[in-house]
Amino acid sequence: MNRTELVSEKKCFGLFLGIEHQDTTERVINILLAVLNFPTSLFAVVENFILILAIWKNAQLHKPSFALLGCLAFSDLLTGLVSQPCLVAYGIAKHYKNWTATCNATILTILSIVVLSGVSVSTLTAISIDRFLALHYYEEIITVPRVLVLFTGFWPVFLIVLIPRILNELIIFTILLSTGCTISLIIILVCYWKIYKITEKHRSQIQDLERAMQHANRLTNEQIKTGKKSSFSFFIVTVIYLGFSIPYLIFCILFIVIGFHGFVVQLGELSFTIITITASINPVVYCWRLQELRDAVKRQEKLIFKCLNRSENIEN
């Protein structure tokens, strides 16, 4: 690295950000950050707000599984409200070579994405455990108040995780995040695998008793199908989120091995965008897979449109 390059790179939050000499790829990525994050942030805020409202307003959805979905929607709403606008500001500031704005946007982006993504992954892990316990002594263990207490507890945990990052202990911080993600992934995979094995075992047992207990079989078989469909729906949500997280995990590995320079910087910028876009995709998946929730959201949308129409009529 020559003298000119050293001067053009300034340190921000423990990272060297070279904004003076940008090639075509870097300029395109800066534009993509703004173009992709701006509309999806709006979608994320609106969609997740309506989703939370639908769960809150409908007593039929006051169940632990839907409470967890509401918690996930809340972190997604904050992603659209905080993280994605920060990424937009980062892309624009870096494109126009505004050092102060770029640094401020970098700090806010990193802090918000770490906390919100950490809470989201933890909530997805809790959902997988919830689905597994639903096949056992569910009502005795999982309740809505306990779900809310657990979700509240996630936030201080990830604020504490930020301490090594604030102290610029980047390697320790990255290892902590990678370890946490790996543990969550293992728990999720084990839970859904056990769910699959249990539902298949129950289905097989029911078929063996079909002749002797036809009516009971129909009832129990329907319960098994409902539980399996619900678990599969939550599994799809988890797979989508984890799939979108793969670029970020690759970035973490390369950051530890290579460091924050060259193509690793660009990969990091893109991986942040990819992982935040899930905030606008998740509500669509929920409504697509869960009819009970879809119906509640439709009712809530109708009420919102009615209120808006009334406001317009009053103004006119």
pLDDT in tens, the chain (316 residues): 443 443 445 778 888 776 667 788 888 999 999 999 999 999 999 999 999 999 999 999 999 999 999 999 999 999 999 999 999 999 999 999 899 999 999 999 999 999 999 999 999 999 999 888 887 766 678 889 999 999 999 999 999 999 998 998 888 888 888 888 889 989 999 999 998 888 777 666 655 555 455 544 454 555 555 556 677 888 888 888 888 988 988 888 888 788 777 888 889 999 999 999 999 999 999 888 888 999 999 999 999 888 888 777 776 6
Cα 224-227-233 angle, rounded to 5 deg: 135
What is the DSSP-derived secondary structure letter of residue 98? -
SS3 289: helix
Residue type, position 312, single letter: E
Question: Cα separation of 253 and 206, whole Å?
Answer: 47
| Residue 131 CA: distances (Å) to CA of 61, 103, 225 | 16, 42, 13
Domains in the chain and their CATH numbers? 22-206+226-304 (1.20.1070.10)
Q: What is the pTM assigned to this prediction?
A: 0.87
Residue with tokens 């994320």: 44
What DSSP letter does each residue of 102-128 carry, written as one string? HHHHHHHHHHHHHHHHHHHHHHHHHHH
Q: Which residues pair with 16 in a beta bridge?
A: 11
SS3 23: coil
Residue of 279, 303, 250 whose CA lies nearest to 45: 279
SS3 259: coil
Residue type, position 181, single letter: C
Pairing of β 15-18 and β 9-12: antiparallel
| Residue 42 CA: distances (Å) to CA of 36, 46, 78, 276 | 11, 6, 11, 12
* Contact partners, residue 278, CB within 8 Å, separation at least 6: 76, 120, 240, 241, 244
